[in-house]
Amino acid sequence: MIEKEIWDKLKSGRIEALEEIYNIYFDSLYSYALKLTLDPSKSQDAIHDLFVDLWKYSTKLSDTTSIRFYLLRALRRKIHSNQTTSDRIDLDDYRKENPTEQSSHESGIIKEESKRQQSLYLQQSMDKLSERQKEAVHLKFFGELTYAEIADIMEVNEQSARNLVNRGLDYLRKLMISVIMMVTLIIL
């Protein structure tokens, strides 16, 4: 079923359309909410509140060309309106309190170790970006959104969205080049 049909069914008050939207988009919404809240429980609560509101106001919903975009934007607003100052914790503090679980088996497979190290380094590098840059890069590459959609979600103009993504990528490239150079020097 195409998006417009699903959305029209939701707007006409059909509960199965809400269920279908939930089933299709929950994983994507949860991933995005977790990036914003760093709290699985608050992420799920925000998503459930969003769907309660969708149902409650289903007959008043405006038309949309992208359900996913509509949901991401609404979820971001819901999370920001629900957050208090004490909820806005530092990502580094969160990671210190919840360290990544290490593998209990040393398999010796170099390829797997290399992938893990690259992933860890990328995550550490992403942590060095500003919160806005992280959000923009996440929306662009994990959310696969256009710059216009990113701009709307983040409530900035399209050029600012492009700048956030590009500055984030430039910084990540510089970090990667320096690591490659260090590894090369160590090997030599």
State whether 75 and 114 are in the same domain.
no
Cα(21)–Cα(10) distance, integer angstroms: 9
Q: What are the structure tokens assigned to 18, written together?
A: 């809400």
Indicate whether 40 belongs to any domain. yes
**What pLDDT does residue 160 have?**
94
Domain that holds residue 64: 3-86
Cβ neighbors of 66 (< 8 A, separation 6 or more) are 3, 149
* CATH code assigned at 17: 1.10.1740
State whether 9 and 80 are in the same domain.
yes
Indicate whether 116 belongs to any domain. yes
Cα(114)–Cα(10) distance, integer angstroms: 46
| Contact between 12 and 66 (Cβ < 8 Å) | no
Note the pLDDT tens digit of each residue in 144-181.
889 999 999 999 999 999 999 999 988 888 877 766 66
Question: If 0-12 CB within 10 Å is exposed, 13-18 middle and 19+ buried, where does residue 7 land?
Answer: buried
Indicate whether 102 belongs to any domain. no
Q: Structurally, how many domains does the chain consist of? A: 2
Segment 93-110 mean pLDDT: 44
Whole-number mean pLDDT of the chain?
A: 79
Indicate whether 94 belongs to any domain. no
State whether 82 and 139 are in the same domain.
no
Indicate whether 105 belongs to any domain. no
End-to-end CA distance of the chain: 58
Indicate whether 182 belongs to any domain. yes
* CATH code assigned at 126: 1.10.10.10
Indicate whether 104 belongs to any domain. no
**What pLDDT does residue 38 have?**
84
State whether 123 and 81 are in the same domain.
no
**What pLDDT does residue 104 have?**
36
State whether 26 and 81 are in the same domain.
yes
**What pLDDT does residue 141 have?**
84
State whether 117 and 176 are in the same domain.
yes
State whether 117 and 76 are in the same domain.
no
Indicate whether 23 belongs to any domain. yes
Note the pLDDT tens digit of each residue in 49-97.
999 999 888 888 888 888 988 898 899 888 888 776 445 544 445 545 5
| Residue with token string 């216009």 | 148
